Structure 1
Amino acid sequence: MPNTTLNYYNQHAQTFNDSTLNVDMSALYREFLPYVAQNGHVLDAGCGSARDAAYFKSQGFSVSAFDASPALAKLASNYLQQPVAVKTFQELECINKYDGIWCCASLLHVPKVELPQVFLNLQSALKPNGVLYVSFKYGTQEREHNGRKFTDLNEQLLSDLINQHTQLRIIKHWQSVDQRPERENEVWLNALLTHSKAKL
């Protein structure tokens, strides 16, 4: 994560936490969870408030979580009632560990040039029949907004990235609007991915 972005989250951790904790993500859970093995191990990668990790935990899944921001990780750990690691996507180093990996509004802070390696890290961490959820703000640019750096993707850019650099394949992708109040004009690209040889 770029230093400016990390500084933003460390300085605004409580405000960000409060603004995202109660957002209704049920429509996305309904897309993701049917692909995750029952009582499987889910990683909330770039977990922010740990809102989603807490939901998965309440549904009987084993949950791990990390965030690059120490301030957010501390708040998330308190909310989740378990340790939340301070880690970046670039530091994710495990093999065949997770039945599901949830990257909700987190990969969008990875510089575009680093995304191929990050997707390879996620691919390695995923079990052969596991599922990966990702979301990006919809677009084609790398940009800075309100003190944070973003990498925006559309369907074609995501497909090119996955097909050229990984053994993942896209199960489906779709667009959605932001669920936060007064953010309804923001469009998100969502996608579910799995290993190219995985059986669904």
Structure 2
Amino acid sequence: MADCETIRSYDQLARQHAAFQRSQQPTAVYRLIETFFHAGAPTVDIGSGSGRDVAWLNQHGYPAIGLEPSPMMIAEARTAYPGIDVRLDSLPELSSIEDASFDNVLCVAVLMHLPANELERAVIHLARILRPGGRLIVSYRTPPPEGERAIDGRLYTTIPPAVFRSLLEANGFQLLFWEEIPDHSRPLIRWWNTAAEKIRDWHSECV
């Protein structure tokens, strides 16, 4: 299940978290979207937070909904971007989403908030909701200087890039792109961005 302390932090500090997210422009992620996502195809932003990326996706030709585990962040998103479709749901299960529902899945600044033992299940369900040939873009970061549990309570699990790449490949994904970049406003933080395509049905080996 999603980390309760992390959700509590986003609920309690929703206004501050949403304002910070809206102040940032993830140009590297948007570049990946424009390069790899299927234009005009059903899209979901998992962990949609402030609603910034759901709004951007819809404005740029990727009809999108958002999924978010924090009710207060959903309220912030709907206030800032009236009319966007944001729903309550979370990794690892994504229980409200049917199999093969989307051609594009975006997952930015989410996976590191999951406990390490939930990462594999999260990747399984990311594969489950994608159609064959669908594209996945994931961005996650290193922990803050204070360690895997930030001062505000949010969890930042360390995810070695090689481990994450292996999980993607084991669950039917082909890697299309991988990069490591610095966080421009926080010099001790680094981000890993990846794009992958679903080339094998998520349950094909279980049939």
- TM-score under structure 1 length normalisation: 0.88
Query: What letter corresponds to residue 128 of structure 2 in structure 1?
Result: S
Residue 205 of structure 2 corresponds to which residue in structure 1? Answer: none
Equivalent in 154, 160, 163 of residue 154 of structure 1: 160
After superposition, the C-alpha distances for 1:65-101 in whole angstroms (9 at most, x for unaligned) are 0110000011112333233111111341321111211
CA distance in 2, matches of 1:119, 1:79: 30
Equivalent in 121, 124, 142 of residue 120 of structure 1: 124
SS in 1 for 2:163: helix
Deviation of 1:158 (Å): 1.1
Equivalent in 108, 111, 122 of residue 107 of structure 1: 111
Residue 58 of structure 1 corresponds to which residue in structure 2? Answer: 59
CA distance in 2, matches of 1:59, 1:162: 27
**C-alpha RMSD of the superposition:** 1.9
Equivalent in 145, 164, 170 of residue 175 of structure 2: 170
> Which region of structure 1 is more displaced relative to structure 2, 8-17 or 38-47?
38-47
Q: Which runs of 5+ in 1 are unaligned?
A: none
CA distance in 2, matches of 1:151, 1:120: 18
C-alpha contact 1:153 1:189 (8 A) present in aligned 2: no
Q: Which runs of 5+ in 2 are unaligned?
A: 202-207
C-alpha contact 1:138 1:154 (8 A) present in aligned 2: no
SS in 2 for 1:33: helix
Query: What letter corresponds to residue 47 of structure 2 in structure 1?
Result: G
Residue 2 of structure 1 corresponds to which residue in structure 2? Answer: 3
- Aligned-pair identity in percent equals 23
C-alpha contact 2:136 2:197 (8 A) present in aligned 1: yes
- TM-score under structure 2 length normalisation: 0.86
SS in 1 for 2:76: helix
Segments of 4+ moved more than 4 angstroms: none
SS in 1 for 2:156: strand
Residue 195 of structure 1 corresponds to which residue in structure 2? Answer: 198
C-alpha contact 2:178 2:194 (8 A) present in aligned 1: yes
Residue 133 of structure 1 corresponds to which residue in structure 2? Answer: 137
> Which region of structure 1 is more displaced relative to structure 2, 33-42 or 48-57?
33-42
SS in 2 for 1:32: helix
Distance change in 2, residues 1:102/1:62 (3 Å): same
Deviation of 1:197 (Å): 4.7
CA distance in 1, matches of 2:196, 2:162: 15
C-alpha contact 2:47 2:68 (8 A) present in aligned 1: yes
Count of matched residue pairs: 193
SS in 2 for 1:152: coil
Query: What letter corresponds to residue 98 of structure 1 in structure 2?
Result: F
Query: What letter corresponds to residue 14 of structure 2 in structure 1?
Result: A
Deviation of 1:127 (Å): 1.6
Query: What letter corresponds to residue 88 of structure 2 in structure 1?
Result: V
C-alpha contact 1:44 1:63 (8 A) present in aligned 2: yes
CA distance in 2, matches of 1:188, 1:72: 23
CA distance in 2, matches of 1:196, 1:41: 18
CA distance in 1, matches of 2:9, 2:24: 21
Query: What letter corresponds to residue 106 of structure 1 in structure 2?
Result: V
> Which region of structure 1 is more displaced relative to structure 2, 150-159 or 65-74?
150-159
